Every structure is written in structure tokens, then in C-alpha cells.
Structure 1
């Protein structure tokens, strides 16, 4: 019998300025039957986005005077703690948290909050990181190598919005570029930020163990050549891995290259272990655990790294050193 996860799902909505995040939030709030607690982060002292959210019965909490990924990170932890306590004591009711970051936010510290804080891990889980992109203008933002490219690198779902403003050839080129940056994210095409809710809610896209149950081959992508500083590397190996060597390598990796590693995840075949070993990391923080039994499935290790200026040759060679001799 499957154990029911009583934790609160969290959807993180990010995207560069003007991508359509507020319109997307209004779409969700108008369509969902869930009760949502919405946390809106704005960079200035005056909150505008919360005023643009259409009137609902939802809880709306503003965090202003800074970016949620920087100096107000403590504020979001405090806010989430209060919400969890209030929900437990029946003071308020909600089924889901949605966090909208400012268009200038790096999603990494927000994601890390739910991986490193014990209280957050006990009360919440990340359902998905949804990144909206403005199909007409995103290429210029990507060329600048700024926040927009980081937001795409961290996405579990990329919503390619405003596709009615570009040609089919431009859309094809854009989708190829987005895939080269983040091959494991699913891409959804939309106009006016409208998307079936089933594509973005309750998909447990950030939960690698759950994701491989649905699609065991989702890591099986082998793109290696990219033009952007942010790129991905996929590694696949059928021979079993040495757990001791693997631990030493990953520990070394996060210490030396952690700041350049935006997201990394994998399903590994460990020598002498009958269970899959599932791990994922964000910058210098990573965690792993035993998952489902291999059973009759092919025992294959698959890893994906997404980061800035990846030394793909070195990473590949270091990974090969972890293969059982």
C-alpha cells in the first residue's frame, strides 16, 4: 500500500520580466479547485503584482524590499513556517503554495530552501519549478547570459508563452535552444499564459524518484554541443558504479565546481545494491537515497548536469573513474 504524502506541494513560478507570470497565476487561480496560498515577491517597496492578481478567496502574501533569492530569503522561510503552523491549527486552509519570484530572481536559493531546511522538508515538497519565457524576446535575454538563462536551467517545466507573436521556424529554433540549455525540462507551448493545469500542477516533476516511476528514461538525453555558457551534459553507463568512488567524486565536485553546477540529477546502478540510487543537487547542496528495486529492468546509470561553462571532458573522465574495475 502506497504511503500518502501529507506534505504541502509547492509550485515555484519564475520567468524574466514580462514573460506573463501574473497572467499565468490568474489563470491558475481561476481554474483550480484547490485552495492556494500565493507568495508574491517583488523587488521594490510597493507591491504591484499582488494588486494585479484577480480577486479570489486565496491567501496572498507579499514579500517586498528585496529579491526572494537574496536578502529576504529568511522572510520566505519565516512565512512558510507560519503558514504551516496556521494550517495545522486550522487557522487557515490551503492545499498548495505557489511562489512567484521577481523577474530578476535566480531560482537556485529558493529551491535550496526546500532541500536544506529540516522544517521545510518535513512540511513541504517542490511539485515543480515552472519557468515562463516570452517567445518573442527571450532570445535577446539569453544572449545577455543573465537571469533568464538561469531560470531556464532550473526549470522542470518551460512554458513557451506568446508563441502567436513568432513564426513557426522561429519557434522551432527557440525550442531547440531551450532544450540545449535544459534537456530534462518539459516544454509546453501557450498563448496568453493559458495551459492545462494538469501540465503544471501535481506532476511532482522536481521529485526525481517519482519522475522515474512515470518515465524511467527521462534522463536519457544526449545533447552535448551548445552555444550558450549554460549547457548540459548527459552521461550513461551500463557497468555498475563503485559507491565509495562515487561519494568521493561528488563531494569533490560540489566543493570545486558547485557554484557552476545549477542542477544535477541521476539514477545510478551501484555495485552490489538491488535498488536504484537516486540523487539530485542544486549548486553545492545535494542529496541521494535508495529508490525502487531494479527488478527485471536494465541496470543503467544515467546522469544529467546543467551548469555554466561545464568542463564536459573532465566530468566524463571523472565519472568513468567511478566505474567498478
Structure 2
């Protein structure tokens, strides 16, 4: 039986997750969606939708959706839904999990890879993060959870854009891209967003063959600000002398974002990119990446890339979350296609120079 695609919907308190979720639950889209709430109260789904009887966990909606309120273990909840589906007691084709506003999406995502029962029934399709355009700057400054929610995202949806002017919106967009250059940014004002921008994104696959979005690094600049590297390495205990390599790019270092960065919005969670036209030695790269996730895994939120391997006619696609890393063969390299590796790492205070120098030593 095909795996059930699952979307994690996250975002900070008041961002608009529930508004979007209510639209999914009420719209006559014909999809059979199971929506899991890992906690509920006044901040969550409307009273008339949620089951208030603590002994009853599941309610079916008139548009084919079902809503499951979860107070305990997500693994148990997913297992119970799968069992009811297999027994013909429930019908649904996909799952949406709404996290609480203060949740770190990492452990939720890891659930789909660390538990065999969950992995045998479900496939994590994408992490979608709703961002409150009006309050996001302050939330990113004050709350690491808000940074993590952006860093884990496969798709970012901006809400309340009508409450900010174009200049502030552009400033926020640059900051979001610096934290996570691989997540496309859309709009979700008042929950109005096409479901195609929320479901079936295929943004998070560790166990399927997939082709990487060729534009996922489109925000990278063509150069590196060496003094920006030095500042970012200062809190990692390095000497501040950055290794400015022509094939290593820091994300979104344009002048305005750079000036804003020094104006008091220093994010612990940020992204950087490695690129090379030389192939990797497979054994060396495996050993180095395994070492990275052992040492820095808890601080590595997301990482993803397309790799050129020595002697391989096919691309190798890899990605991971924290210590969970997977890879698979992608499409064949085109005859006229420029061959090379592109890798992006998103994490908390990661020592970029150690990553970049180590990757360079794995090249043939």
C-alpha cells in the first residue's frame, strides 16, 4: 500500500496556522485529509470543529476530512489512525499535523524516520511554516523556536502582509532567505492559499528517489563577504579568519541585508552553501558526513544537496534532519549539463569553515 503523504504545519503563536487549517477543513476540495492537532485550546481549531469530549479523539467532517486531537505521543496517534484506516473504519488519503506555536518541528519530523511502524505507513511530504509578517522580526529576535520553524521549512507562507509596508516586507523576506535559502516563499493572508502550495510539495524525502528543485539555491550570491564570515565564526570559537573559497557562498549577503544584519538582528540559525565542479570521492565524503552528523547533528536543522560523485553517471541526492541522513540516486547527468555539487546546510551556529574545508578535502 502506498505511503500516506504527511504535511507538518508550523509557525509561531498567532501566525495564522489555525486560519489556514480551518480553510483546509471546511473547503469542499474533495480530498480526504486527516488533521492532527498535537494540542488544542482557545488558540487552536474553532470550538465547533474540535472534539471537546476527552474520551473522543476523532471527528469526521462533512467534506471528507477528519480531525484528530492528540494530547499524548504523536507516534501512538499516527499508529492509531493507520490501524483504523487499514481496518476500513476511517478513510483518508493524507495527513496534516499542526504543531503548537512554540514547537520545534525537528522532533516531529524525526518521528517519520525513527519509528518503523510510522515509516511503514507515512511519508513526510513537507514542513510548511506560516510567518506573521507583522511580528516576525521581533519574534525571530526573541525566540529561537521561531528561527527553528523557519530553518526547518520546505515552504514559507507569509501572513498579515497587509499590515506591513513594502520596505519592511522586503527586509523580512531577505532575512528569511538568509536563514533558509531553499524554502520558496508564498503568501497566506487570511488563510487564502492554493492547496497546491501546501500539499504534495515533495519537499522532504529521505527514502524516495527525487530530483532536487534546480532553483532551490537561487538566492545565493556570486561572492562571499570575508568579514561577514569572520563575524559569524566569532561565536564558534574560531580565530575570525574566514576561509573565503571561490566555491563557497554565504546566503543572501547583499548590502541591505548585510547592513540590517549588523543593525541588531543576528540570527543564531542561518544557512550556507557549498559548491564545486570537482567530483567527490565517495568513501571520503561518507566518512566526513557521518562525522559531521555525529558531532554537529543536534545543531544541523536541515541539509540537502545534489552531488557529483567520481565515476557516477547519475546525480546523488542527499538530505537530512539532525542526525538522520539519507541519500539516493537521482537523474542522469545531461550530456550538455554542467556537472557539479551543490549543498546547503541550515543550522545553529555551525562552523562553516570546518564544513567547507572538510568537504574540499573529500574532492577528487
Same fold (TM > 0.5): yes
Instruction: Give the number of equivalent residue pairs.
Output: 308
Q: Where do 5+ consecutive residues of structure 1 fail to align?
A: 65-71
Alignment of 1:68-147 (within 5 A): 72=72, 75-147=73-145
Compute the TM-score of the two structures, normalised by the length of structure 2. 0.80
Alignment of 1:1-325 (within 5 A): 6-31=2-27, 32-42=29-39, 49-52=44-47, 54=49, 56-57=61-62, 58-64=65-71, 72=72, 75-207=73-205, 212=211, 215-219=213-217, 221-222=219-220, 224=250, 225=253, 227-296=266-335, 297-324=337-364
Structure 2 contact 209–329 (Cα < 8 Å) conserved: no
CA drift at 1:211:
5.9
Q: How big is each residue's C-alpha offset from its partner over 1:5-62, in whole Å with a ceiling of 9 and x where there is no partner?
A: 821110110000000111000112223321111110227xx57624447483332111
SS at match of 1:192: helix
* Structure 1: distance between partners of 2:159 and 2:31: 24
Moved more, 51-60 or 98-107: 51-60
Q: CA distance change for structure 1 residues 180 and 102 in 2, over 3 Å: closer, same or farther?
A: same
Structure 1 contact 47–62 (Cα < 8 Å) conserved: no
* Structure 2: distance between partners of 1:190 and 1:51: 19
Q: How big is each residue's C-alpha offset from its partner over 1:164-188, in whole Å with a ceiling of 9 and x where there is no partner?
A: 0011111010111111100000100
Compute the TM-score of the two structures, normalised by the length of structure 1. 0.89
Q: Where do 5+ consecutive residues of structure 2 fail to align?
A: 51-60, 222-249, 254-260
* Structure 2: distance between partners of 1:84 and 1:100: 18
- Larger gyration radius, structure 1 or structure 2: 2
CA drift at 1:157:
0.7
Q: How big is each residue's C-alpha offset from its partner over 1:45-84, in whole Å with a ceiling of 9 and x where there is no partner?
A: x5762444748333211122xxxxxxx4xx2111111211
CA drift at 1:256:
1.0
CA drift at 1:218:
2.2
CA drift at 1:88:
1.8
Q: How big is each residue's C-alpha offset from its partner over 1:136-169, in whole Å with a ceiling of 9 and x where there is no partner?
A: 1111010114211100000011111000001111
